[in-house]
């Protein structure tokens, strides 16, 4: 595999390339306490599913691996009990069809792991440079709207990649990989945003129509935006599916880039190689050539599996329940498990929309189930503005988020329902608390990305608003139409206007260049109303430019030699130390710029970052800082110092205070 050149690669090297070995250090961490954890320890613990949460010091989050979103009532009861006894009672269903346990300490980890093992669950390889929870249609094997049941492929992949104790063969990827294998015809998973996706397809072979998959590669949602996965032009038969996925993973493991973290996803290997070379290299590894592509079997429709749906099994139903923004207290989870046992076969399916499905409900028991009190809280008939509501964790528990998302998403949805009423076609509204896009905001009808803006000298929560995103056969990344919209009492009015004119807003041109960016802001007339006493926003465009900002320099400064121009490597930053201060240098065209090397968010090494649109992008969490001013693009409270640079006789001189 390629050599690595970023801090995470260094951390992995300290464990001989196997992050799972951090398990050996857990007894010491428990004894010494969380305060003893180094930055390397915090990152490596993610290999075993333990996530240090900066907003709740000493309390951790654990991702539980649940391939295809399959769960049993016994498993859900065990998770609910752990949450009540050891955690903080708060559980979240994620967009990767798994559950996150919150609020436990390191001392509780051994008991949690033992309990999970007892119900055939685990948390291994759920973070960092691993194959994350494997996704698939939650109604696999049950839906009449599927070409084939792909769940056995998902489960076999999980057995190979993770198994019971983790598999070091798959723990040293350049970055994370998201994988989906589905036979659903109605696009219930976000296939085009996956590193690897097998989607249902048919092909005429030997005078018969065969069912199988098309192969999509290189999709992503974070690391610079939504990249739509590229088709390899292959038709894969079901018995070939596991081999194809494993071959793609190992090709990425061995050949993927390992320098700037923001450029290490599979999408960037595809970008560098091109699809033709990637296909050739992959076929060489396989030792055989897959068949040419057939016919995409999917419809244009997107389903969320919420509501009452007949299964392919006679007189049997699935009941999809809306778990609003995925947040479910331990008591509700325990009751959900009880209903699965009483009315079904003790099985529950989790969806990428953060919802839950009770399955195998006999028709004769359906009415009694619908009368259960829990279904008034987790409705099978949610309103159109709540049904498609998805949210990341937000600032309450996440290290990366800059605004609150879950509670605000619910509040805004309720306000929108008051303004717009309950009638109309369902639409998806997705919230992400930062550019990492964990809420999949770029794949929604309306997407909201959190940021901070300066209003009257105060830093306040705000969002950028996107419209028109979708996955499926005609996938499209949502386009930004408004920037820096404060999350105040006017936001519901702004969103109500967008929803009422959504088709018009979807026709906006792609985002202009940064120097010509148009920031869309709401404008209100004193006499404008929707007839119900609510203001309705008119949208106005205000042009703004990003001009260079002069750096304020102390009158008493000195020019210090930093390096020579010939020492710069194209596309890479350079770290120097001047007067005990770590400074990152970048060559941008004919200019050289200098700024503090430590990211003020969580200490990421900015010299390992990339330059995009006049900003340096932190390699750890994608925070951007303007090269001219040092200002963070999403949180005005964060800033790095900048320094004037001159070049004399090919020597780089940095001006620093004396």
Integer Cα distance of 292 and 161 in angstroms:
27
Predicted confidence band at 510 (pLDDT cuts at 50, 70, 90)? Answer: low
Model pLDDT, residue 521: 37
> What mean pLDDT value characterizes the chain?
90
Domain contains 138: no
Annotated active-site residue 256? The verdict is no
Among 188, 398, 438, 618, which one carries the catalytic annotation? 438
Domain contains 32: yes
- 655 versus 373: which is more confidently predicted? 373
The domain boundary residue, chosen from 71, 98, 118:
118
Q: What is the DSSP string of 314-365?
A: TTEEEEEE--GGGEEEHHHHHHHHHHHHHHSSSEEEE-TTS-EEEEEEEHHH
Model pLDDT, residue 571: 64
Annotated active-site residue 21? The verdict is no
Least confident of 5-14, 135-144, 352-361, 647-656: 647-656
pLDDT in tens, 167-222: 999 999 999 999 999 999 999 999 999 999 999 999 999 899 999 999 999 999 98
Mean pLDDT of 411-436: 93
The domain boundary residue, chosen from 239, 265, 296:
296
* Count of structural domains within the chain: 5
Please give the backbone phi and psi of residue 103, each rounded to the nearest 5 degrees, phi first. Answer: 80, 20
Mean pLDDT of 1-26: 94
One domain for residues 272 and 170:
yes
Among 12, 15, 53, 63, which one carries the catalytic annotation? 63
Annotated active-site residue 449? The verdict is no
Highest mean pLDDT among 5-14, 107-116, 392-401: 107-116
Mean pLDDT of 106-125: 98
Annotated active-site residue 424? The verdict is no
Predicted confidence band at 552 (pLDDT cuts at 50, 70, 90)? Answer: very low
Model pLDDT, residue 556: 58
Integer Cα distance of 440 and 418 in angstroms:
26
Domain contains 282: yes
Model pLDDT, residue 570: 66
For 562, the token pair is: 């930093």
If 0-12 CB within 10 Å is exposed, 13-18 middle and 19+ buried, where does residue 378 land? buried
Integer Cα distance of 121 and 110 in angstroms:
14
Helix extents (H) in 18-127 = 26-32, 39-44, 73-85, 109-118
Among 12, 175, 419, 587, which one carries the catalytic annotation? 175
Mean pLDDT of 470-499: 95
One domain for residues 351 and 393:
no
One domain for residues 237 and 164:
yes
For 112, the token pair is: 């949690």
One domain for residues 407 and 524:
yes
C-alpha dihedral sign at 528, 529, 535, 537: negative
Q: What's the chain's Rg over C-alpha atoms?
A: 25
Annotated active-site residue 434? The verdict is no
Of 544, 472, 558, which Cα lies nearest the Cα of 515?
A: 544
Domain contains 142: no
Model pLDDT, residue 321: 98
Q: Is the pTM of this model over 0.75?
A: yes
The domain boundary residue, chosen from 382, 408, 441:
382
Residues paired with 518 in a beta bridge: 543
66: left (phi over 0), alpha (psi -120 to 50) or beta: beta
Give the strands of the sheet with 347-350, arranged side by side.
Answer: 70-72, 347-350, 356-362, 316-321, 307-310
Among 256, 294, 433, 573, which one carries the catalytic annotation? 433
Mean pLDDT of 212-241: 96
Domain hosting 248: range is: 151-296
Mean pLDDT of 247-267: 95
**pLDDT surpasses 60 at 580:** yes
Domain contains 324: yes
One domain for residues 577 and 623:
yes
CATH code of the domain containing 355: 3.30.70.3340
Strands 428-432 and 388-391, by their bridges, are parallel
CATH code of the domain containing 490: 3.30.413.10
One domain for residues 236 and 322:
no
Integer Cα distance of 547 and 631 in angstroms:
13
Domain contains 548: no
Q: DSSP E strands: which ranges in 239-315?
A: 291-292, 295-296, 307-310
Predicted confidence band at 278 (pLDDT cuts at 50, 70, 90)? Answer: very high
**pLDDT surpasses 50 at 545:** no
If 0-12 CB within 10 Å is exposed, 13-18 middle and 19+ buried, where does residue 386 land? buried
Strands 208-217 and 230-236, by their bridges, are antiparallel
**Residue 376 CB partners (closer than 8 Å, separation 6+):** none
Mean pLDDT of 106-115: 98
Integer Cα distance of 51 and 56 in angstroms:
11
Mean pLDDT of 295-304: 96
Model pLDDT, residue 623: 84
One domain for residues 332 and 361:
yes
One domain for residues 258 and 316:
no
- 231 versus 620: which is more confidently predicted? 231
One domain for residues 396 and 538:
yes
Model pLDDT, residue 538: 39
CATH code of the domain containing 590: 2.102.10.10
Exposure string over 159-183, b if 16+ CB within 10 A, otherwise e: ebbbeeebbeebbbbbbbbbbbbbb
Domain contains 93: yes
One domain for residues 248 and 318:
no
Among 294, 320, 439, 573, which one carries the catalytic annotation? 439
Among 46, 53, 96, 176, which one carries the catalytic annotation? 176
One domain for residues 188 and 221:
yes
**Residue 107 CB partners (closer than 8 Å, separation 6+):** 30
Domain contains 137: no
Annotated active-site residue 438? The verdict is yes
One domain for residues 157 and 246:
yes
């Amino acid at each position: 595999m390629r050599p690595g050149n970023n801090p995470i690669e260094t951390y992995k090297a300290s464990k001989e390339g196997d992050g799972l070995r951090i398990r050996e250090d857990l007894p010491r961490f428990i004894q010494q306490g969380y305060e003893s954890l180094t930055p390397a320890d915090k990152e490596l613990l993610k290999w075993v599913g333990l996530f240090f949460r900066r907003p709740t010091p000493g309390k951790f989050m654990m991702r539980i691996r649940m391939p295809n979103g399959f769960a049993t009532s016994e498993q859900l009861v065990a998770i609910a009990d752990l949450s009540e006894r050891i955690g903080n009672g708060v559980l979240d269903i994620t967009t990767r069809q798994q559950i996150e346990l919150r609020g436990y300490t390191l001392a509780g980890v051994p008991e949690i792991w033992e309990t999970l093992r007892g119900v055939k669950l685990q948390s291994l390889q759920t973070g960092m440079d691993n194959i994350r929870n494997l996704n698939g249609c939650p109604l696999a094997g049950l839906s009449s709207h599927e070409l084939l049941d792909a769940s056995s492929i998902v489960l076999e992949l999980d057995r190979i990649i993770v198994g019971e104790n983790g598999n070091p063969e798959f723990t040293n990827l350049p970055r994370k990989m998201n994988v989906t294998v589905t036979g659903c015809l109605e696009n219930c998973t976000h296939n085009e945003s996956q590193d690897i996706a097998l989607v249902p397809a048919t092909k005429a072979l030997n005078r018969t129509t065969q069912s199988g998959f098309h192969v999509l590669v290189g999709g992503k949602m974070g690391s610079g935006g939504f990249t739509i996965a590229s088709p390899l032009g292959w038709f894969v038969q079901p018995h070939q599916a596991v081999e194809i996925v494993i071959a793609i993973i190992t090709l990425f493991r061995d050949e993927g880039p390992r320098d700037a973290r923001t450029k290490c996803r599979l999408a960037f290997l595809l970008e560098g190689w091109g699809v033709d070379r990637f296909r050739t290299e992959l076929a060489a590894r396989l030792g055989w050539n897959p068949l040419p592509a057939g016919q995409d079997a999917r419809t244009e429709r997107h389903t969320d599996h919420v509501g009452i749906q007949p299964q392919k099994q006679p007189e049997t139903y699935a009941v999809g329940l809306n778990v609003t923004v995925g947040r479910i207290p331990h008591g509700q989870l325990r009751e959900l498990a009880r209903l699965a046992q009483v009315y079904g076969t003790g099985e529950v399916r989790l969806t990428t929309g953060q919802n839950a499905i009770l399955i195998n409900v006999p028709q004769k028991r359906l009415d009694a189930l619908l009368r259960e009190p829990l279904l008034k809280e987790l409705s099978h008939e949610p309103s159109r503005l709540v049904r498609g509501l998805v949210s990341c964790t937000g600032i309450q528990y996440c290290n990366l988020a800059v605004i609150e998302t879950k509670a605000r998403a619910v509040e805004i949805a309720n306000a929108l329902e008051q303004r717009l009423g309950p009638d109309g076609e369902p639409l998806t509204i997705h919230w992400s608390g930062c550019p990492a896009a964990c809420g999949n905001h770029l794949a929604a009808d309306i997407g909201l990305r959190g940021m901070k803006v300066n209003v009257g000298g105060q830093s306040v929560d705000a969002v950028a608003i996107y419209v028109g995103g979708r996955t499926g056969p005609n996938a499209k990344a949502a386009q930004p139409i408004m920037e820096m919209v404060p999350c105040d009492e006017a936001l519901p009015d702004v969103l109500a206007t967008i929803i009422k004119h959504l088709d018009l807003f979807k026709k906006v041109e792609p985002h202009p260049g940064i120097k010509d960016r148009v920031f869309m802001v709401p404008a209100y007339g004193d006499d404008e109303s929707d007839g119900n006493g609510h203001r309705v926003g008119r949208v106005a465009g205000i042009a703004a430019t990003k001009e260079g900002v002069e750096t304020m320099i102390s009158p008493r400064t000195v020019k210090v030699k930093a390096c020579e121009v010939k020492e710069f490597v194209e596309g890479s930053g350079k770290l120097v130390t001047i007067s005990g201060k770590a400074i990152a240098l970048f060559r941008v065209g004919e200019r050289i710029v200098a700024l503090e090397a430590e990211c003020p968010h969580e200490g990421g090494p900015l010299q390992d970052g990339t330059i995009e649109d006049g900003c340096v992008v932190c390699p750890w969490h994608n925070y951007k800082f303007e090269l001219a001013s040092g200002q963070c693009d999403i949180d005005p409270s964060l800033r790095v110092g900048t320094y004037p640079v001159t070049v004399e006789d090919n020597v780089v001189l940095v001006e620093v205070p004396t």
